[in-house]
Amino acid sequence: MKIVARTSLALAAGALFFASGVQAQVGANQGLLNPNLATADELAGVPGLYTDVVRAIMDQRPFMKMADLHRIIGSHLAEDEFDAAYGAMWIPIDLNDATDAEIQLIPGVGARMLHEFREYAPYPALVKFDREIAKYVDDDELARLTQYVYVRIDLNTASESAMLSIPGVGDRMKHEFEEYRPYSAMAQFKREMAKYVDDDEVERLSRYVEIR
């Protein structure tokens, strides 16, 4: 892994981005399939995912944590096949509650980078992760790593871009998120969203949000 220092100009831009309050909170996807949203044909194109694995994923989703998916994958793939699979498919992990084991499922993340992930926690926003990890990797590697992670958004203050960064959220669901603000409790959010999507989808969406 190439270790480089980002320029002071880039860091200053990141700080300005953070201050603006408009940043997305789920890392920009660089082409990873989300197993909770992908079609069976798309999953069949992931290295190592043969018919029985694809069927198991489709039958048991949505997965609320990457560890839940890994339990399915791990019973079908050898350990040396994980990087290829997770270089094509992933469920974003919460930087503030992911386990060490989940973080180390990210291709290329070993003990040293795990330490850097942990050193700067907790993360109030994804831009802090970008700023701190940029001390150790170049722009391309930072973009690759960022697509694997997220920080929960505050339902009452989140920007449109932050809401739209949640996998599977488009303009219609963004509108529903905004319509019921301010939220007093997560139970209110779940109750209102249940008008539009099923219980599994409510729980999946709830992974990405909180009320501060």
Q: Are residues 78 and 99 in the same domain?
A: no
Q: Are residues 200 and 162 in the same domain?
A: yes
Q: What domain count does the chain have? A: 3
Examine the pLDDT at 131 and tell me if it is beyond 60: yes
Examine the pLDDT at 149 and tell me if it is beyond 60: yes
Distance between CA atoms of residues 44 and 54, nearest Å: 6
At residue 116 the predicted structure's pLDDT band, cuts being 50, 70 and 90, is very high
Q: Are residues 66 and 161 in the same domain?
A: no
Q: Is residue 1 part of a domain?
A: no
Which stretches within the chain are classed as H helix?
A: 8-20, 40-44, 51-60, 66-74, 82-86, 100-103, 111-119, 126-133, 139-146, 160-164, 171-179, 186-193, 199-206
| Domain, as residue range, for 23 | 8-27+92-150
Residue 3's pLDDT is 41
Q: Are residues 16 and 45 in the same domain?
A: no
Q: Is residue 34 part of a domain?
A: no
Residue 184's pLDDT is 98
Examine the pLDDT at 40 and tell me if it is beyond 50: yes
- Average per-residue pLDDT in the chain? 91
Examine the pLDDT at 18 and tell me if it is beyond 60: no
Q: Are residues 96 and 22 in the same domain?
A: yes
Q: Is residue 32 part of a domain?
A: no
**pTM of structure:** 0.87
